[in-house]
Amino acid sequence: MKRLSKRTLERMLKKAIEASEKAYAPYSGFQVGACLRASSGKEYGGCNIENAAFTPTTCAERTALFTAVFAGEREFDGIAIACSGERPAFPCGVCRQALSEFCSPEMPVYCCGKDGIGELMTLGDLLPKSFGPSDLGERG
Ligand code: THU
């Protein structure tokens, strides 16, 4: 696992909690926030944004990832995810795949429920044997 200091992880968790307060989640009532740390040192927040048609709903992790990529970031050192549930919510399959495009399997993923008690793992733990750019050969 790539290393992040305890202080950095705690600050990222605080930012993820703040991001979760911006969630637009009128249908599920489940608020999620993410703080994605780029290798530049900048940190990008994201929240879940739901939709009346349900399918277009976007998770907090992808909001943070796409915001960061749009800002020009391409490499990341870690992500903290906070949710309003009793226990930590781990990224959904779509977010695991989206993150794996830009983040290494060693990247720390820190997930917390509403009590702020976290579980630390890596992206590779969550998505082993992922399909990635190198699978496309010369096109990747
Ligand atoms: N959600 C996230 O934002 N991240 C996750 O990792 C899991 C689920 C959101 C999507 C939806 O708005 C709500 O949580 C309930 O599924």
Q: Could you say which DSSP state residue 135 is in?
A: G
The stretch 66-76 carries a mean pLDDT of: 98
C-alpha Rg value of the chain to the nearest Å: 14
Pocket of ligand 1 (CB under 6 A): 25, 28, 30, 32, 48, 50, 57, 59-61, 89, 91-92, 95
Q: List pLDDT tens digits, range 95-111.
A: 999 999 999 999 999 99
User: By alpha-carbon position, which residue is closest to atom 1 of ligand 1?
Assistant: 59
The stretch 13-28 carries a mean pLDDT of: 98
Q: For residues 82 and 33, is the Cβ–Cβ distance under 8 A?
A: yes
Mutate to test the pocket of ligand 1, among 27, 62, 63, 83 (most ligand atoms within 8 A of CB): 83
- Please report which helix (H) or strand (E) contains residue 45, including its range: strand 43-47
Phi-psi region of 73 (alpha: psi -120 to 50; beta: other; left: phi over 0): beta
pLDDT tops 90 at residue 140: no
Q: Could you identify the atom of ligand 1 that is nearest to the CA of residue 31? A: 14
Confidence category of residue 11, pLDDT binned at 50, 70, 90: very high
pLDDT given at position 1: 86
Mutate to test the pocket of ligand 1, among 20, 92, 95 (most ligand atoms within 8 A of CB): 92
Q: What is the pTM of this model?
A: 0.96
Relative to beta strand 32-38, strand 43-47 is antiparallel
pLDDT given at position 137: 86
Q: How many CB atoms lie within 10 A of CB 140?
A: 8
Lowest mean pLDDT among 13-17, 38-42, 103-107, 135-139: 135-139
The stretch 20-48 carries a mean pLDDT of: 98
Bridge partners, 110 (sequence order)? 80, 120
Active site residue 61: yes
The stretch 18-26 carries a mean pLDDT of: 98
